[in-house]
Amino acid sequence: MNRLLNRVPFVDDAVHWGQEDYWATPAESIGSNGADCEDFSIAKYFLLKELGVPIARLRLTYVKSLKLNQPHMVLAYYASPNAEPLVLDNLEDLVRPASQRRDLVPVYSFNDEEVWVEMRGRAGSPQQLRNWRALMERLDWERRT
């Protein structure tokens, strides 16, 4: 799956979407045949979610790539809360445990569950993780059309 999605060519957001930072839906990434690190991670996240993987095991993770010396995003898979995660990266087709990815320094992670925090019965505010919010709206739109 990792390898399959990694075939989509890497295109920088600024080139691809004319924006500094644009989080594309899986359909946009595949349809436009171009993606950057967030787009790959997002596409993988939703694909696995569709395949029935509980989202509690998935985390979109901000990392720093020591190799490229720049911010990067990968998808981490935790078999259990205390387990060592597997890393799905668009730079490497091979899915390897985190301990074997010394080139990545994890910084911050999130998933649906966290973004959609329970707020005394109310849905999360649009202010939270603006990019994620926009993404979810587009996804919702795609689903309906």
Considering the complex, state which of residue 65 and residue 109 has its C-beta at the smaller distance from other proteins: 109
How far apart CA 13 and CA 10 sit, in angstroms, is 9
Shortest separation between residue 93's beta carbon and other proteins, angstroms = 20
Helix H segments across the chain? 2-6, 13-16, 26-32, 37-50, 112-115, 130-144
Q: 19 and 11 in contact (C-beta within 8 Å)?
A: no
Q: Is 106 in the site for other proteins (CB under 8 A)?
A: yes
3 state DSSP class of 93: coil
What is the pattern of x (binds other proteins, CB under 8 A) and - over residues 9-38? ------------------------------
Stretch that binds other proteins, among 18-26, 42-50, 116-124, 135-143 (CB under 8 A): 116-124
Q: Is 91 in the site for other proteins (CB under 8 A)?
A: no
Residue among 44, 103, 41, 36 nearest 74 (CA): 41
Q: Is 110 in the site for other proteins (CB under 8 A)?
A: yes
Q: How many residues bind other proteins (CB under 8 A)?
A: 25
How far apart CA 121 and CA 24 sit, in angstroms, is 29
Compute φ and ψ for 109, nearest 5 degrees: -140, 155
Shortest separation between residue 12's beta carbon and other proteins, angstroms = 26
Interface positions with other proteins (CB under 8 A): 59, 61, 76, 78, 81-82, 84-85, 98-99, 106-111, 114, 117-120, 122, 125, 127-128
